[in-house]
Amino acid sequence: MTDTNVADTNRRPRDDELDVYGLTDIGKERRNNQDHFLLANVRRHVTVLQTSLPDAARLEVHDQRIAFLAMIADGVGGSVGGEKASATALEIAMQYVGASMHCYEHGEATQEIFIEELQSAAMKSHEAVLERAEREADGRSMATTLTLFLGVWPWYYLLQVGDSRYYLFRDDALTQITRDQTLAQDLVDQGVFTRAVAEKSRLANVLSSAIGGQTTTPVVTRLRADWHNVHLMCSDGLTKHLTDEQIAERLRTMTSSKQVCETLLADALAAGGSDNITIIVGRAMMRDQG
């Protein structure tokens, strides 16, 4: 990270200070890629149509970033149309977030609205996947995970359905913030499984909550944004093959988000690549404003 003073770190990063990259790969064993991801800026554009004020052009706002959006969806393997389910979830969530931009301009004062809107985005995606399954799959199941990051300075919000993960790397430590919504994790929470047993159990691949599934439980978490944060989102195609410590070691030596995504992908492929692999990494890098 670059050195920064306290005053500078209180401001929102500019577009040219965002180092963000995402990629997806079919892996070595799957016939198709059921993962999808999306990165987007949510912007505001204000054009003055008529005014008695002088220098009206000075009042206009062009392409000001309101929020940054990142999403990963992993279509459930073995179900009909997992690829269609993940695509539908991202498309509908993106449309819903875009249509709800008005609530993204008020920051902390609207945190409850943020949470409600994100939960609504998940349920709209859920309904759309169910409708598509009824229309195109003769009512057979279509399902997907959905993990969504919405950065609205000085906060960011995480929406979680399923087991695609969000990690925070900060102060040389990697922390999994999202909770896997799987039957194995449920048993860990109940004290039946240890985490080591859960990771090896077949139940680790059975979702207890999914978009398009029998149960859909969107969980939203709010965290404070910080220039020193490195964000990582991934489908389980990465974490099936790499430990948290292996991921952390790559983040410690990263030179750019693109470089570390490509390195982590190569690691996962070298370790077996048994599933589709999707990775997003992002951070803010302060640059000279001169």
Comparing 99 with 240, the larger pLDDT belongs to 240
Range of weakest confidence among 2-11, 26-35, 239-248: 2-11
Q: What is the pLDDT of residues 117-160, one digit of tens each?
A: 899 999 999 999 999 998 887 767 899 999 999 998 899 999 99
Comparing 109 with 267, the larger pLDDT belongs to 267
Where are the domains positioned within the chain?
Answer: 18-47+57-284
On whether the pTM is more than 0.85, the answer is: yes
Q: In what order do the strands lie in the sheet containing 61-74?
A: 35-46, 61-74, 146-152, 155-161, 219-224
Architecture of domain 18-47+57-284: 4-Layer Sandwich (3.60)
Residue 62: predicted pLDDT = 57
Rounded CA gap, 70 and 234, in Å?
Answer: 11
User: Residue by residue, what is the 3-state secondary structure of the chain?
Assistant: CCCCCCCHHHCCCCHHHEEEEEEEECCCCCCCCCEEEEEEEEEEEECCCCCCCCCHHHHCEEEEEEEEEEEEEEECCCCCCHHHHHHHHHHHHHHHHHHCHHHHHCHHHHHHHHHHHHHHHHHHHHHHHHHHHHHHCCCCCCCECEEEEEEECCEEEEEEECCCEEEEEECCEEEECCCCCEHHHHHHHCCCCCHHHHHHCHHHHCECCCECCCCCCCEEEEEECCCCCEEEEECHHHHCCCCHHHHHHHHHCCCCHHHHHHHHHHHHHHCCCCCCEEEEEEEECCCCCC
Rounded CA gap, 185 and 181, in Å?
Answer: 7
Q: What is the pLDDT of residues 195-251, one digit of tens each?
A: 889 888 999 989 999 999 999 999 999 999 999 999 999 999 999 999 999 999 999
User: Residue by residue, what is the 3-state secondary structure of 225-249?
Assistant: CCCCCEEEEECHHHHCCCCHHHHHH
